[in-house]
Chains A and B, each alone.
Chain A
Amino acid sequence: MGSGSGWKGRDVISILDFDRDSLEQLFEVADKFSSLLRERGRIPLLEGYIVALAFFEPSTRTRLSFETAAKRLGADTIGFTSEEAISIAKGETLADTIRMLDSYADMIVLRHRYEGAALYAAEIAEHPVINAGDGKQHHPTQAMLDLYTVRKLFGTIDGLTYGVLGDLRYGRAASSFILALTIYRPRMIYLISPPLLRVRPEVRMVLDERGMRYREVESLEEVLGELDVLYVTRIQRERFPDQREYEKVRGSYRVTLELLEQHARRELRILHPLPRVDEIAPEVDGTPYAAYFEQARNGVPVRMALLALIAGREV
């Protein structure tokens, strides 16, 4: 496996910055790490590297997944997990924090509550910046592992019928997954949400520009029987600027075993970026429909592949 000239030193800001070829290369490296991880716990390609995990917003899964990926590659990590822990609480700007981290680390993984924070950080930092989620906009590494999971489950990403359910307006995982699908040729994308939580105009613009076949619907039952992949997202209270809006839509969707048995195709696979609250009933977990735990496991090899390719290391 080559080091990937298109990957070395690059920033990861939006999933739309990537084409099929570079994603395919990432997935092939992730496959290699997946099988290597079964043989041994550590593949020390990044010995001597320091990866900064700058989590200005609390996140357990994404942070632990990046930290595990870095450590399995032999890199050291530095960082923080909330604004309170650092000088931001004392009034330091993001720009200054990034400059500091840039002088300590070889890569910066950034999670921030404001949209555009990752691009802004990348403009400031000389080292690569990896967006681990900014505001409601982008979560490109989540989208990468989502696509990787679909590819592993079905052997392809093209030609399938997708349903994306939940908060399509404020949820960055949902937005990034929808944008990620535009890099491929899905048969159909159903965007399933209450009217209040429909995709934002800029996401719809990309779907239109790229000639995607998609339809916005409110009812899951209406389309469930057609789906190969159902991507479920949580309706997150903290993303709503107006809490009254949240109260109107909370608990709008619940994927139950009964619903699936009545309407879904046997081949349907359900993804969820996790954590979930009550949008998927626990009885679904033990059925072949549930692919979300496998999806979560894929986070480490995909992020290992990402770090190794950006560092220009060969597998």
Chain B
Amino acid sequence: MESGSGLLVRRIREGTVIDHIPAGRALTVLKILGITGREGARIAVVMNVESRKLGRKDIVKIEGRHLSPEEVDKIALVAPRATINIIHDYRVVAKRRVTVPDIVEGILMCPNPSCITRVGREPVKPRFRVVSRQPLVLQCVYCGTLVSEEDVAEQLAEGG
């Protein structure tokens, strides 16, 4: 799991390790999880380490925290090949890959300012269908606008 980074950061006792994050996206993952560093929890961020799968990757370790399904869905959008490792008593007790759902609802805003989902008080949730997973391309169900993986990452990095 941590080849090449095992010496950099020691193991955590309880919590979550998010592995196989594309290089440079670790800070976006922290943003998605609302982690600022001021919460008091021990966080390790390892960036740009060698990876057989990705060439280079980032890893995030969070002590004492487990992720909600919504958080996992958001992470899938910026790190579609990420693995989530649940750590208990220093051991990986569960390991799962994230999956991008077929329909992404209520997480992202449509970038098209004249999309009906952008109209102030309309009770409509933005909804996107997945056009491609590799690379990630989403399409707004309402206005048809295509959204790239970079757009998604940028939006989630901004919005948290």
Contacts and interface: CB of A to CB of B under 8 A. Distances in A.
Interface of A: 91, 93-95, 112-117, 119-120, 134-137, 200-202, 205, 241
B6 interface: no
Contacts of A135: 114-115, 143
A101 to B, nearest CB: 16
B149 to A, nearest CB: 14
B121 A93 contact: yes
B115 A241 contact: no
B139 A202 contact: yes
Nearest to A114: B116
B143 A115 contact: yes
Chain B contact-residue range equals 20 to 34
A24 B106 CA distance: 38
Interface in B114-160: 114-119, 121-124, 131, 139-146
B144 A202 contact: yes
B141 A119 contact: yes
A95 B131 contact: no
22 contacts: A93-B122, A94-B116, A95-B122, A112-B116, A114-B115, A114-B116, A115-B112, A115-B116, A115-B144, A116-B140, A116-B141, A116-B142, A116-B144, A120-B122, A120-B142, A134-B116, A135-B115, A137-B143, A202-B144, A202-B145, A205-B146, A241-B114
A94 B143 contact: no
A112 B117 CA distance: 13
A115 B123 contact: no
9 nearest CB pairs, A to B: A116-B142, A115-B143, A116-B116, A202-B144, A116-B143, A114-B116, A117-B116, A120-B116, A201-B146
Nearest to B131: A205
A245 to B, nearest CB: 15
Q: Which of A95, A115, A136, A137 has the most CB of B within 10 A?
A: A115
B146 A115 contact: no
Contacts of A119: 116, 141-142
A95 B141 contact: no
Nearest to A170: B114
B113 interface: yes
B115 A116 contact: yes
A120 B113 contact: no
B139 A115 contact: no
Given A116-B116, A116-B144, A200-B144, 18 more contacts: A95-B123, A115-B112, A115-B114, A115-B142, A115-B143, A115-B145, A116-B117, A116-B141, A116-B142, A117-B116, A119-B116, A120-B116, A120-B122, A201-B146, A202-B139, A202-B146, A241-B113, A241-B114
B22 to A, nearest CB: 23
Nearest to B140: A116
B116 to A, nearest CB: 4
A169 to B, nearest CB: 13
B124 A95 contact: yes
Contacts of A136: 114
A95 B119 CA distance: 11
Nearest to B145: A202
Contacts of B140: 116
A117 B118 CA distance: 11
Contacts of B145: 115, 202
Interface in B41-100: none
B115 A94 contact: no
B144 to A, nearest CB: 4
Q: Which of B113, B114, B119, B131 has the most CB of A within 10 A?
A: B114
Contact of A94 (B119, B142, B144, B146): B119
B128 to A, nearest CB: 12
B159 to A, nearest CB: 21
Nearest to B121: A93
Contacts of A95: 122-124
A203 to B, nearest CB: 8
A205 B140 CA distance: 14
Given A115-B112, A116-B117, A136-B114, A93 B142 contact: no
